[in-house]
Amino acid sequence: MGINTGVAPKKPSGYDMPEGDEQSAQVGRRNRRARIWMGVFQLALVVAIVALIALLYSIVNDSFGYAAVENAVDPAQIMAGVQADRMLAAANTTTSEDDEVIAAAVAADPNAIGFFGYAYYNEHADELNLLRVDGVAADAATVESGAYPLARPLFLYAGQKAVVNKPEVAAFLDYYLRHADDVIADVGYFPASAEALAAAHDLLLQTAKAGIPAAIGDGAIAIAGSSTVHPLTLQIANDFRDIEGYTGTLTVDSTGTTAGYARLCDTQDVDIAGSSRAMTRQELAACDDLRVKPIELRVGTDAVAVVVSKQNTFLTDVTTAELEQIFSGAERWSDVNRAWPDAPIVRAIPGADSGTLDFMAGAIVSGTPAQLSAAEMVPLIKSAVSSGVFRRFEAEMPFAERSQADIYALLQERVIQPSVVASWSMTASLLRRAEIEKEVFTSFPDAELVWYRWLSKDFLTSPQSSVPEQAGVRTAILGSLWVVLITVLIAVPIGIGTAVYLEEYAGHNSFNRIIQTNIDNLAGVPSIIYGILGLAIFVRALEGITSGSALGVSDPTTANGRTVLSAGLTLALLVLPVVIINAQEAIRAVPKSLREAGYGLGATKWQVTWTHVLANALPGIFTGTILAMSRALGETAPLIVIGASTFITQDPTGPYSKFTVLPMQIYQWTSRPQAEFKHIAAAASLVLLALLLLLNGSAIYLRNRFSKTL
């Protein structure tokens, strides 16, 4: 109702405007209409915000997330190797393949420490003290349960077909499992628990459908695999012949665990493979695919005894961390633990060929390859690559001059070679974590599930690569910056000049109106047309200039016009209308009174234009420049036409360089089939957005600084 009384005053004739309640209702209708429009605008705003968020989300979603990373070489294996070398190189260390020598050396010196297979400790228990490791003493129970840190299970793997079809194989395994405990201590290992052996035996019986034959038969039995299991197998094989009366050919090769698997599964020339570690799920699956279907039989446990002399008075307990220090070359006991005496450490360890040394090294080593010194990494690289490649690295930059980080990068690239075998988006990673973990566990048992940042420092600083994990955007960022720089340097002065001429100097004739109309329409020409124009003019017709060969800065036989300069010129043409139109708007917005004030003081046209018109139009001109820059930075189509490189690893160094730009790189990556390229395309999109924000931010900062004086 408002101020109205509700009683319509008398209207004079011909007066037709709502009064009273009618007026209130009419105002209400007008307000409702205004509210509806406001709602429409708010909706538009919401749509815009949702679209922006969706865009950003889709990019970020692909830029981060879980990835299953598999290494060509296990970093733990590298560390074990490095640690073994450290141990062999440590001063004051006796090395021997003969455990008796080690035992004698340790027994003789109260400051000595050594280790060997557990079996030898029993023989020398009167001269030596066994140390508890991480608080656990080695005995049958702790070794079997795995509580003792320096223990590992030993296995046999037998092909199912061999067990079923070859009675002598089934018989041998049966004998093995029944008598392993009898001889294992003599060979130097710990027995497996009775339960483990019984379980293995049950599995054998289940597999051998015909049961264990009473008559052994005389077919050949071939065994290969772990050198650790080898002496045990050899002992049992001898007994099998001597005691059980087996007359066939029994060969036992010591090849190492992995080589044994290859002979069991791939070449299938052995029936049984000895193993000092469990087969990975991946290896098992691969083997099953080859129709071998191996069965796993636990036969014993290997453990290392760490011993000191009976004369030693201070050492009963040691941790694996202390062991690492002790055997890596610490000079005095007090250096490792202050509670220990200030006496030299004397070491006695198995030699380089010993599996015990390797096992011990792997068990006590800590740290990752990233912490290795340059001197430790160079030999690893040298042994992993061909001598030619190594010489090339040395020629590019001598290893002595390379930083540790550089060499580590090489180690990663050439030796460890981590590769992403599966990857997930951020949303999937956050919402389906358990599922992903299960999938990796079953499909990629050797892979490690890590939170992968596709957008990383390395991504920003690496050049393009055909391996998505190693590919980066450095070349593209530099290319984009060069192209935008040239675009802005050319388009902005020409654009401002044109705008000043059209606004301040040009007469109002039909010729100038045609020019104006043309400029307005050029802003809407498809960008690919500019690409065709650029190809014809800059790349082809002006090749001498754009390739730099006419100016003598590049080699005319190899140079062509597909350079940063051509791209910059083409994009300058493309953004010129944007710059001109914005500058014109800005110049038009400078009040006439300012111009009059200038002229009234006896200034010339140019003085007024420069000091007042241009100075006050500067913010608007900057806005046009920002728009132009954004357009140039995101443009792809014309650059494809003028021939920007899609794969280039060399940074652009100047206007005459070959180049690529970020949008090209993104375009190229999104068209690759591998999923990992989608991730780096998303990461590169984020980089492009950030670059855009950075460039526009600096332009806005400059604009504000210039207009602050107003």
Name the site residues for other proteins (rule: CB under 8 A): 507-508, 591, 593-604, 607, 611-612, 615-616, 709-710
Query: Which two structure tokens, joined as six digits, stand for 456?
Result: 């990383």
Least distance between other proteins and beta carbon 604 (Å): 5
User: Residue 679's Cα: distance from chain center in Å?
Assistant: 11
User: Residue 575's Cα: distance from chain center in Å?
Assistant: 38
Cα distance between residue 351 and residue 88, in whole Å:
7
For residues 133 and 590, which CB has a smaller minimum distance to other proteins in the complex?
590
> Which helix (H) or strand (E) covers residue 85, if one does?
helix 75-89
For residues 395 and 710, which CB has a smaller minimum distance to other proteins in the complex?
710
Least distance between other proteins and beta carbon 685 (Å): 41
For residues 140 and 615, which CB has a smaller minimum distance to other proteins in the complex?
615
For residues 77 and 607, which CB has a smaller minimum distance to other proteins in the complex?
607
Least distance between other proteins and beta carbon 655 (Å): 38
Least distance between other proteins and beta carbon 582 (Å): 20
For residues 234 and 702, which CB has a smaller minimum distance to other proteins in the complex?
702
Residues 6+ away with beta carbon under 8 Å from 110: 309, 311, 312, 313
Least distance between other proteins and beta carbon 661 (Å): 39
Least distance between other proteins and beta carbon 706 (Å): 11
For residues 136 and 603, which CB has a smaller minimum distance to other proteins in the complex?
603
Long-range CB contact pairs, 140-149, < 8 A, 24+: 140/190, 140/191, 140/193, 143/118, 143/190, 143/301, 143/303, 144/190, 144/191, 144/192, 144/193, 144/196, 144/301, 148/303, 149/320, 149/363
For residues 297 and 617, which CB has a smaller minimum distance to other proteins in the complex?
617
Cα distance between residue 584 and residue 594, in whole Å:
17
For residues 521 and 607, which CB has a smaller minimum distance to other proteins in the complex?
607
Least distance between other proteins and beta carbon 607 (Å): 5
Least distance between other proteins and beta carbon 509 (Å): 11
Rg of the chain on CA atoms, in Å: 40
Residue 152: closest CA among 442, 362, 445: 362
For residues 329 and 619, which CB has a smaller minimum distance to other proteins in the complex?
619
Residue labelled with tokens 């309640």:
21
For residues 267 and 709, which CB has a smaller minimum distance to other proteins in the complex?
709
Pairing mode, strands 151-159 and 294-309 = antiparallel
DSSP code at position 192? P
Long-range CB contact pairs, 584-588, < 8 A, 24+: 584/499, 584/502, 584/503, 585/620, 586/499, 586/617, 586/618, 586/619, 586/620, 586/621, 586/623, 586/624, 587/499, 587/500, 587/503, 587/504, 587/613, 587/614, 587/617, 587/620, 588/503
Least distance between other proteins and beta carbon 504 (Å): 11
For residues 294 and 598, which CB has a smaller minimum distance to other proteins in the complex?
598
Residues 6+ away with beta carbon under 8 Å from 89: 329
Does residue 114 contact residue 315 with C-beta atoms inside 8 Å?
A: no
Collapsed DSSP state (helix, strand, coil) of residue 373: coil
Does residue 219 contact residue 168 with C-beta atoms inside 8 Å?
A: yes
For residues 446 and 504, which CB has a smaller minimum distance to other proteins in the complex?
504
Residue 495: closest CA among 592, 663, 617, 616: 617
**Ramachandran region, residue 91 (left: φ > 0; alpha: ψ -120 to 50; beta: rest):** beta
Least distance between other proteins and beta carbon 620 (Å): 14
For residues 399 and 706, which CB has a smaller minimum distance to other proteins in the complex?
706
Q: What backbone phi and psi angles, to 5 degrees, belong to 112? A: -95, 155
For residues 444 and 599, which CB has a smaller minimum distance to other proteins in the complex?
599
Does residue 128 contact residue 104 with C-beta atoms inside 8 Å?
A: no
For residues 314 and 501, which CB has a smaller minimum distance to other proteins in the complex?
501
Extended beta strands in 412-546, E state? 418-423, 448-453
Least distance between other proteins and beta carbon 507 (Å): 8
Handedness of CA 419, 422, 428, 432 (dihedral sign): negative
Least distance between other proteins and beta carbon 650 (Å): 48
Cα distance between residue 308 and residue 285, in whole Å:
44
For residues 128 and 608, which CB has a smaller minimum distance to other proteins in the complex?
608
DSSP code at position 148? S
Least distance between other proteins and beta carbon 609 (Å): 12
Least distance between other proteins and beta carbon 662 (Å): 39
Long-range CB contact pairs, 45-54, < 8 A, 24+: none
Cα distance between residue 692 and residue 686, in whole Å:
10
Least distance between other proteins and beta carbon 595 (Å): 7
Does residue 232 contact residue 184 with C-beta atoms inside 8 Å?
A: yes
Least distance between other proteins and beta carbon 606 (Å): 10
DSSP code at position 505? I
How big, in percent rounded to 5, are the helix, strand and coil portions of the chain?
Answer: 60, 10, 30
Does residue 288 contact residue 161 with C-beta atoms inside 8 Å?
A: no
For residues 466 and 607, which CB has a smaller minimum distance to other proteins in the complex?
607
Residues 6+ away with beta carbon under 8 Å from 91: 329, 331
For residues 13 and 709, which CB has a smaller minimum distance to other proteins in the complex?
709
Least distance between other proteins and beta carbon 506 (Å): 11
396, burial (CB in 10 Å: exposed 0-12, middle 13-18, buried 19+) = exposed
Least distance between other proteins and beta carbon 622 (Å): 16
DSSP code at position 503? I
